[in-house]
Amino acid sequence: MALGNLYFLHESLKNTYQFDFKAKKYKKVTGKEIYSETLESTPMLEKEKFPQDYFPECKWSRKGFIRTRWSVTDCAFDLVNIHLFHDASNLIAWETSPSVYSGTRQKALTYVLDRITDQRYEKVPHFLFGDFNFRLDSKGVIESLCASATMQTIRAADTNQINKLIFRESKNDRKVVLQLEKKLFDYFNQDVFRQNNGVELLEFDRELSVFKDKLGEQEISFPPSYPYSEDSNQGKQYMNTRCPSWCDRILLSHSARDLIHKAENDEKSVIYDNIGPNVCMGDHKPVFLFFRIAAGAGKPNRHMRNCCVVQ
């Protein structure tokens, strides 16, 4: 499924409340609650799909967001699970920088931010997480990876449309470096995406920069999260379908970053990483953000309470 949440609260948390969006008030969390049908009408969350015209190539889309609001020891915040639009074609993504798909995701994320900060409810810090489908700037990445290669274009006989691009080294017996099709990204050396967690390619990870005045992120220190092989014996191997990218992210409003407790001389007080780096987890590697809420965060009497753990 595109959107789905499981929230587990430690039994030591006594003052935990969830917001009722219809009644516009918090309700104490007790026992176990399951919402699995007619989520759009469930008052304890907001679920919306994006307007159809945002991605007309897809006749029926599950893309959208789910928002829940919580109060933990009087600290209120939103948790927003999000799923943005993918790149339908590697060839189209390669044509322009930024790609047309990047523009669609920007429009969709703007829609979400407008909805969760509008005048219907009090504004609170928010954490956005899920498959943002952020992609590396395809044109820039290919120009970098294939800087010394020559490009061969293969077109369809009936339409003259580009079907395939082949990049070959100018020397070295014209070795094929990259083959690109609508759903093929076959680069000869996947290690470039794994070495040093692929950080040299982060310069092409530009989609979040448009929102730097509204959203932030902890430093990325894990390899691109997609598209991993679904072969159970190939936990670190990427599929040759898309350019590996950091699709799965956890983003924070600037007010949410203020909630995070950062201990002095403790580099592990905040951890942003992936799960199952060496084993098959499906085509996406899940990511997590571990931190402690600063004592008294979100309240006028800050630094007066013990902090709690959110993971």
3-state secondary structure string, 125-194? CEEEEEECCCCCCHHHHHHHHCCCEEEEEEECCCCCCEEEEEEEECCHHHCEEEEEECCEEEECCCHHHH
* Residue 268, pLDDT score: 76
Higher pLDDT, 288 or 310: 288
Q: Considering only 81-85, 162-166, 260-264, which range has the smallest mean pLDDT?
A: 260-264
Give a yes or no: residue 113 inside a domain: yes
* Residue 121, pLDDT score: 96
Q: Quick one: pLDDT band at residue 301, thresholds 50, 70, 90?
A: very low
Give a yes or no: residue 277 inside a domain: yes
Those residues with Cβ within 8 angstroms of residue 30's Cβ, 6 or more apart along the chain or in another chain: none
Please tell me the distance from the alpha carbon of residue 305 to that of residue 75, in angstroms, as a whole number: 11
Closest-CA residue to 35 (of 23, 56, 18)? 18
Please tell me the distance from the alpha carbon of residue 246 to that of residue 113, in angstroms, as a whole number: 20
Give a yes or no: residue 254 inside a domain: yes
Q: Quick one: pLDDT band at residue 306, thresholds 50, 70, 90?
A: very low
Higher pLDDT, 184 or 263: 184
Tokens of 203: 């310069």
Give a yes or no: residue 178 inside a domain: no
- Indicate left, alpha or beta for 194 from its phi (over 0: left) and psi (-120 to 50: alpha): alpha
Does residue 224 carry a pLDDT above 80?
yes
Does residue 303 carry a pLDDT above 60?
no
Please tell me the distance from the alpha carbon of residue 61 to that of residue 37, in angstroms, as a whole number: 18
φ, ψ (nearest 5 deg) of residue 94: -75, -20
* Residue 267, pLDDT score: 65
Mean pLDDT for the stretch of residues 72-80: 93
Give me the chain's average pLDDT, please.
Answer: 91
Whether the Cβ atoms of residue 172 and residue 188 lie closer than 8 Å to each other: no
* Residue 309, pLDDT score: 36
* Residue 110, pLDDT score: 97
Give a yes or no: residue 238 inside a domain: yes
Does residue 308 carry a pLDDT above 70?
no
Q: How does pLDDT run across 87-111, given as a tens digit for each residue?
A: 999 999 999 999 999 999 999 999 9
The β-bridge partners of 162 are 155
Q: How does pLDDT run across 148-185, given as a tens digit for each residue?
A: 999 999 999 999 999 999 999 988 788 999 999 999 99
Number of domains in the chain: 1
C-alpha 287: how far from chain center: 9
* Residue 178, pLDDT score: 98
Q: Quick one: pLDDT band at residue 285, thresholds 50, 70, 90?
A: very high
DSSP 8-state secondary structure symbol assigned to residue 211: G
Please tell me the distance from the alpha carbon of residue 6 to that of residue 113, in angstroms, as a whole number: 22
**Residue 69: which domain range?**
16-135+196-310
Does residue 18 carry a pLDDT above 90?
yes
* Residue 269, pLDDT score: 86
Those residues with Cβ within 8 angstroms of residue 137's Cβ, 6 or more apart along the chain or in another chain: 97, 98, 99, 102, 204, 205, 206
Q: Tell me, what CATH number does 287's domain have?
A: 3.60.10
Give a yes or no: residue 179 inside a domain: no
Does residue 234 carry a pLDDT above 70?
yes
Give a yes or no: residue 143 inside a domain: no
Whether the Cβ atoms of residue 113 and residue 252 lie closer than 8 Å to each other: no
Mean pLDDT for the stretch of residues 194-204: 97
At position 110, the amino acid (one-letter code) is T
Give a yes or no: residue 10 inside a domain: no
Q: Quick one: pLDDT band at residue 300, thresholds 50, 70, 90?
A: low
Does residue 281 carry a pLDDT above 90?
yes
